[in-house]
Amino acid sequence: MTVVRDTSEPGHGWRFRLAGFTVTVPLNALIGVLVIALLWYPEFAGSAGLAGQWVLAGVFAVLLMVSILGHELAHGYAARAFHYPVSGITLWAMGGFTSYRTTAKHGPFREAVIALAGPAATLAIALVAWLASRSVGGLAFDLLAALASANFLIGFFNLLPGAPLDGGAVVKAIVWAATGSAVTGQVVAAWVGRVLAALILVSPFLLALQVGGTPSLTLILVAVVLAWVLWSGASASLKQAAAARTLAAVTAGDLAVPMVAVPAALPVSAVLPDLRPDRALVVTDEGGRARAVVVAAAAQAVPPEARDRISVAAVTASVAADAPVLPPQAPATDVVAACQATGSRFVFVVAPGIAARLIDTDAAFVTEGP
């Protein structure tokens, strides 16, 4: 599964570096290992005694999580091949995800390539495990055969054409290429994902009806969990698409505020009355270009007894020399893309005959959750 988002905040669990990527294994990943062991425990019934059966199931569960890591590494390498910054890889109870940020060059082809890299790696692992199982016997055969079948299952499941699965990203790419709209592709993939969730939820009962039996409790529980994962991911994708459409209707001019120059040596007490959300207090260079912006929270945090002694320069955020410059009519999505490409927090909005204005993206954009 691929996720375009930043997960730079540390979480609880195990973190390590592998092949140039930061890998996070939160504590809930242990639940995933336990669930996998419980689900595959019956498969090793004829392989060993009771204790050995549990050991085999546990080893298999760990190997499968390693296989999932290989799946996510493939996503990471594909994203890195397009020079996208990869925040990291996270393994969790229901699998894993790779976090990366795209650039302005991102398009349907790149979307599809990154998405397909994961299932391709999983199916390759399945093939290698199957081939290896042909040359061994005993417990090694049982482990490798189980690993091969599980990876084949995961690989093809991830290719199902609905968000948040990798196949859903391929659907998004196809619709994007056909319509020219990434948002439309995301919406289509999300609704297909919801349909898949509903089908998976009822599948145990349909199968039981077809053979004239009763669905097993284990199969029902697995179907409920998978359906919940798909439905939740598809719903989140729909929310993101709605937010993207809202963002596309906003322009850089709507987000920008006028700049008011203040001397760097001015005490904080002198600028506090002028701090307002509808303008930016900036420190300029000799050429009149803004080089730093007064951060309201930092200025207000200065203790009252020190506000006459501390200068404005101490409560500013620097403006990068290569800060993006956009016209007022540029959509807000261009603001986001420009900041991602340059790493700048600030964007200048410039038009002929109009005084330059500034966007502080920390104030202009508010995001909820990871």
pTM: 0.76
Query: Based on the domain organization, do 92 and 171 belong to the same domain?
Result: yes
**27 in a domain, yes or no?**
yes
**172 in a domain, yes or no?**
yes
Among candidate residues 213, 248, 283, the one where a domain is terminated = 248
Query: Based on the domain organization, do 306 and 175 belong to the same domain?
Result: no
What's the confidence (pLDDT) of residue 334? 85
What's the confidence (pLDDT) of residue 90? 94
What's the confidence (pLDDT) of residue 258? 94
Query: Based on the domain organization, do 203 and 347 belong to the same domain?
Result: no
Among candidate residues 192, 222, 248, the one where a domain is terminated = 248
Average pLDDT for the chain: 89
Query: Based on the domain organization, do 235 and 317 belong to the same domain?
Result: no
What's the confidence (pLDDT) of residue 84? 93
Task: List the single range of 126-130, 189-193, 260-264, 337-341 with lowest mean pLDDT.
Answer: 337-341
Number of structural domains in the chain: 2
Mean pLDDT over residues 315-340, rounded? Answer: 89
Query: Based on the domain organization, do 273 and 300 belong to the same domain?
Result: yes
**52 in a domain, yes or no?**
yes
Query: Based on the domain organization, do 57 and 159 belong to the same domain?
Result: yes
Query: Based on the domain organization, do 319 and 286 belong to the same domain?
Result: yes
Task: List the single range of 182-186, 216-220, 325-329, 363-367 with lowest mean pLDDT.
Answer: 363-367
Inform me whether the pLDDT recorded for 11 exceeds 60: no
223 or 51, higher pLDDT: 223
**132 in a domain, yes or no?**
yes
Per-residue HEC secondary structure of the chain comes to: CEECCCCCCCCCEEEEEECCEEEEEECCHHHHHHHHHHHHHHHHCCCCCHHHHHHHHHHHHHHHHHHHHHHHHHHHHHHHHCCCCEEEEEEECCEEEEEECCCCCCCHHHHHHHHHHHHHHHHHHHHHHHHHHCCCCHHHHHHHHHHHHHHHHHHHHHCCCCCCCHHHHHHHHHHHHHHCCHHHHHHHHHHHHHHHHHHHHHHHHHHHHHHCCCCCHHHHHHHHHHHHHHHHHHHHHHHHHHHHHHHHCCEHHHHCEEEEECCCCCEHHHHHHHCCCCCEEEEECCCCCEEEEECHHHHHHCCHHHCCCCEHHHHEEECCCCCCEECCCCEHHHHHHHHHHHCCCEEEEEECCEEEEEEEHHHHCCCCCC
Among candidate residues 214, 248, 282, the one where a domain is terminated = 248
What's the confidence (pLDDT) of residue 74? 98
Inform me whether the pLDDT recorded for 296 exceeds 70: yes
**51 in a domain, yes or no?**
yes
What's the confidence (pLDDT) of residue 12? 63
Inform me whether the pLDDT recorded for 213 exceeds 90: no
What's the confidence (pLDDT) of residue 42? 82
Inform me whether the pLDDT recorded for 6 exceeds 50: no
Inform me whether the pLDDT recorded for 8 exceeds 90: no
**347 in a domain, yes or no?**
yes
Query: Based on the domain organization, do 139 and 59 belong to the same domain?
Result: yes
Query: Based on the domain organization, do 229 and 267 belong to the same domain?
Result: no
- In the chain, the percentage of residues whose pLDDT exceeds 90 is 67
The range of the structural domain enclosing residue 119 comes to: 2-248
Query: Based on the domain organization, do 74 and 200 belong to the same domain?
Result: yes
Inform me whether the pLDDT recorded for 332 exceeds 70: yes
**370 in a domain, yes or no?**
no
pLDDT digits (tens, 9 = 90+) for 19-42: 899 999 998 888 888 888 888 878
Query: Based on the domain organization, do 7 and 146 belong to the same domain?
Result: yes
pLDDT digits (tens, 9 = 90+) for 244-294: 888 778 899 999 999 999 999 999 999 999 999 899 999 998 888 899 999
Query: Based on the domain organization, do 234 and 260 belong to the same domain?
Result: no
What's the confidence (pLDDT) of residue 368? 36
- The enclosing domain of 334 has a CATH number of 3.10.580.10
pLDDT digits (tens, 9 = 90+) for 84-120: 999 999 998 778 999 998 887 899 999 999 999 999 9
Task: List the single range of 2-16, 56-70, 307-321, 354-368 with lowest mean pLDDT.
Answer: 2-16
What's the confidence (pLDDT) of residue 364? 67
**369 in a domain, yes or no?**
no
